[in-house]
Amino acid sequence: MSSISRTQALTISHADVLGSYVKTLETDQLLPRIPKMAVRGDSLQVADVATLATASFVTSGGTADASATDYDTPARSYPLRRVPTRVEVNGDIAQNVSMINDVFEQQIEAKMIAMWRAVGSKLIYGTGVDPEPAGLQTLAALHPSPPPGLGTGITLAALDDLISRIRPWDGDTPRAFVMNRGQYAKVTAAAHAAGIDLEVRPDAVLGRPLAHYMGVPLLVSDYILDTEAGSTTSIYLVILGPRAGEPQFGGLVWCYNETTGAGIKVDGPHRTSATTDVLFATLDLNIAFASLSTGSVVRLSGVTP
């Protein structure tokens, strides 16, 4: 059992304002922008074309092309990964030390923050190897023609190169740059140096204005480190979401089990019947990130912070 102490519980219970109980809370504008996709079972399977069937014009009376399309085996698999947690509070504390605030509920809310923090980190650096989901760094390795490491500070020309490499894109599916706040400042400075003001448009998902470069929004993720490969960082460009009926145009998606849902499932409160009186709840999250086409996530590595 790992219950909060009475002293700590009293601190929470008597606080008028709880907004500062996480001293440093990371910004993650990417996670809420990823479209969700329900999965039947425990993983999403994506079949990649190995050899596309051929087709050609023929003269009148010519023979029709009967070639077949072959697929890579096995199919790419994106298993749902699990984040299970548990909140336990002594029964006496749960019932008798909740003055202004409910101690038990505050512990659950704080545990949820910890769970989403774990997800945010693996959204960038998850290896795809059990128990981790595949993150942007892993998904970008599927790209058929990634750019070489930059080796310098970010430039607008490097962003233009990223835009030219993202594929397939036909002008419809949303795209987004993803970078940490340091690179966001560098891109803004580079635009100003070039005499450009980044266009700012309202974002319907995040509910706030976002800066855009060449029509592509700039999303900030504090989970992207400045210490990759020594002292460098990365900037990503992603296609967001599936395309109904046209999976070849699909991009980055958030997968969830259609039965359990896309968010954190809370089961409780329950009370033990053991000698120690404990109020507890279990929290569970099943999640995966997938790239529906191999060119939909591209990474520019080796960027000097």
The model's pLDDT over 234-275, given as tens digits with 9 standing for 90+, comes to: 999 999 988 666 766 789 999 999 888 889 999 988 888 666
Asked if pLDDT for residue 187 goes beyond 90, the answer is yes
Three-state helix/strand/coil letters over the chain: CCCCCHHHHHHHHHCCCCCCCCCCCCCECCHHHCCEEEECCCEEEECCEEECCCCCCCCCCCCCCCCCCEECCCCEEEECEEEEEEEEEEHHHHHHCCCCCCHHHHHHHHHHHHHHHHHHHHHHHCECCCCCCECHHHHHCCCCCCCCCCCCCCCHHHHHHHHHHCCCCCCCCCEEEEECHHHHHHHHHHHHHCCCCCEEEEECCCCEEEEEECCEEEEEECCCCCCECCCEEEEEEEEECCCCCCHHHCCEEEEEECCCCCCCEEEEEEECCCCCCEEEEEEEEEEEEEECCCCCEEEEEEECC
Mean pLDDT of 209-235: 94
Question: 2-16, 111-125, 156-170: lowest mean pLDDT where?
Answer: 2-16
Instruction: Please state the rounded mean pLDDT for residues 112-136.
Output: 96
pLDDT number for residue 17: 59
Give the domains, in start order, of the chain with CATH numbers.
Answer: 29-47+74-303 (3.90.1690)
pLDDT per position as a tens digit, 12-68: 665 655 655 677 778 999 999 999 999 988 998 888 888 999 999 999 999 999 999
